[in-house]
Structure 1
Amino acid sequence: MSAERGAVELVLVRHGESVGNLAAAAAAQAGADRLELDTRDADTPLSARGLEQARALGEWLGALPPDERPDVLWCSPYDRARQTAETALATAGFDVPRRIDERLRDRELGITDRLTTSGIARLLPEEAARRALLGKFYYRPPGGESWADVALRLRSVLADVDRREDGRCVLVVTHDAVIALVRYVLEDLTETQLFDLVRERSVRNASVTILTRGGDAWTTSRFDDVAHLAALDAPVTEHEGTDPHE
């Protein structure tokens, strides 16, 4: 996993399963309009299983040769991402400089926050029709962000990472749509190619994606890899905490 001199290597990790993930799965199974969740999205913590996933991630990191370990951490400010990073590094037994950056936060859902797909269709039919017309990439819920909006802020943070962390391996702990959009930005993907990546499922909890820049080109050597979670006996949750309609 070592990056060549002058290159930047990104080890992208989605946070472990959160309480919001469980609420989203329960709402979808029940056919409910809304998620039962007491916290705001930014404060939603990991579930017990999410902590197990974070520890498994840490065991994988700790088993890497010293020269292949991340040199620095960039992390979303959301609690579930920070808990994942802190638990993983504590388990790994080494520490790195840490940077919390709000540009790595999850996509903001505005008035559709905490609503399921069926809830949007029933309670906000005009928004459901507008989303169907505009498509997933460009639809911006009132008070929220489109996928294109997230890509715009990621262009800024990725430029900073590229400039500040030249030659380093950077651990980035963030969210599922963010990881897919990092590939969209760095690999110059089209809208169709982006959604082909996540057509079958979202990027899974505590999965690892690795991208490396050599010269002007980025390559992906690993995407949505959960081999380090194989010892955990329950399936990995796919729903993002409060975005089940994605």
Structure 2
Amino acid sequence: MTATFLLIRHAAHIHLDQRLSGRMEHVPLSEAGRVQAEALAAALAGERIDRIECSPLERARETAAAIATAHGLPAPTPVEALVEIDMGDWTGATFDRLHGDPAWDRWNAERGTARIPGGETMAEAQARIVGHLSALAASEADGAVVALVSHSDMIRGAVAYALGLPLDRLLRFDIGPASVSRMVIGDWGAKLHSLNERMVA
């Protein structure tokens, strides 16, 4: 039994490159992000997608809804396992404020062991998404194609699992807004088919 997953990062949101949104509510796509989401949906329209799930956060739901509309699929199912990493005390902080904070520097250098103050470890976040992917692969029809709209570090965690990459090396690749990374999971394990496909300008 195998399933193919399109791991999609939500399109650009209003805090992109300014602050660490984490699980903040009311962080929608920006105007540019809405254009990205529509373009991504159009780019994927010719591909098979059997079902769409998404993080419960607004930016992921908006991106997933655009894809579902283009495919004539039901509204995407929000799934807690796909939600952003719990950023704890850093939620809403600007990147300027975080710059030079020893805990922030350690988080970025030692993802395998560091814990966000008041939040999650990368290993906990990775376990959430990998557990969900494995459960879906076991329960979906053989050959199913499922689109999952989530967040950059969550997708990084899944990719690292497929590649056997230590979490301390997580920042050696990018997951851009509105990008697609393709993974196949079966009872034999996981294989990455593509990484960070930029399907829109």
Same fold (TM over 0.5): yes
Structure 1 CA distance for aligned equivalents of residues 135 and 127 of structure 2:
13
The one of 40, 54, 77 aligned to 1:99? 77
Aligned ranges for residues 102-181 of structure 1 at < 5 Å? Answer: 102-120=80-98, 125=101, 127-128=103-104, 131=106, 135-167=110-142, 168-181=144-157
Structure 1: gaps spanning 5 or more residues: 1-5, 25-34, 231-246
User: 1:103-142 deviations in whole A, cap 9, x for unaligned?
Assistant: 10111111122224542356xx56357x279823322122
Structure 2 CA distance for aligned equivalents of residues 111 and 87 of structure 1:
32
- CA drift of 1:72 comes to 0.9
Q: Does 1:207 align with 2:179?
A: yes
Structure 2 CA distance for aligned equivalents of residues 155 and 165 of structure 1:
15
Name the one with the larger strand percent.
2
Structure 2 CA distance for aligned equivalents of residues 132 and 172 of structure 1:
26
Structure 1 CA distance for aligned equivalents of residues 46 and 107 of structure 2:
46
Given the superposition, is the C-alpha separation of residues 126 and 154 from structure 1 closer, same or farther in structure 2, using an over 3 Å criterion? Answer: same
Structure 2 CA distance for aligned equivalents of residues 205 and 41 of structure 1:
18
The one of 3, 10, 18 aligned to 2:5? 10
Give SS of 2:12's match. coil
Given the superposition, is the C-alpha separation of residues 134 and 53 from structure 1 closer, same or farther in structure 2, using an over 3 Å criterion? Answer: closer
Given the superposition, is the C-alpha separation of residues 157 and 42 from structure 1 closer, same or farther in structure 2, using an over 3 Å criterion? Answer: farther
User: 1:53-91 deviations in whole A, cap 9, x for unaligned?
Assistant: 111111112123xxxx1111121101000000102222x
Structure 2 CA distance for aligned equivalents of residues 184 and 41 of structure 1:
26
Structure 1 CA distance for aligned equivalents of residues 7 and 117 of structure 2:
29
Tell me if the contact between 1:56 and 1:88 (Cα under 8 Å) persists in the aligned partners. no
- CA drift of 1:188 comes to 2.7
Aligned to 1:47: 30
Which is higher, the Rg of structure 1 or of structure 2? 1
Q: Segments of 4+ in structure 1 off by > 4 A?
A: none
Structure 1 CA distance for aligned equivalents of residues 181 and 109 of structure 2:
29
Structure 2 CA distance for aligned equivalents of residues 97 and 120 of structure 1:
37
Structure 2 CA distance for aligned equivalents of residues 18 and 89 of structure 1:
19
- CA drift of 1:218 comes to 2.2
Identity of aligned residues (%): 25
Structure 1 CA distance for aligned equivalents of residues 190 and 134 of structure 2:
13
Structure 1 CA distance for aligned equivalents of residues 194 and 107 of structure 2:
32
RMSD of aligned residue pairs (Cα, Å): 2.7
1:213 counterpart letter in structure 2 = I
Tell me if the contact between 2:60 and 2:149 (Cα under 8 Å) persists in the aligned partners. yes
1:149 counterpart letter in structure 2 = E
- CA drift of 1:153 comes to 1.6
1:76 counterpart letter in structure 2 = S
Give SS of 1:59's match. helix
Tell me if the contact between 1:103 and 1:157 (Cα under 8 Å) persists in the aligned partners. yes
Aligned to 2:55: 76
Q: Does 1:184 align with 2:167?
A: no
- CA drift of 1:93 comes to 4.2
Tell me if the contact between 2:3 and 2:186 (Cα under 8 Å) persists in the aligned partners. yes
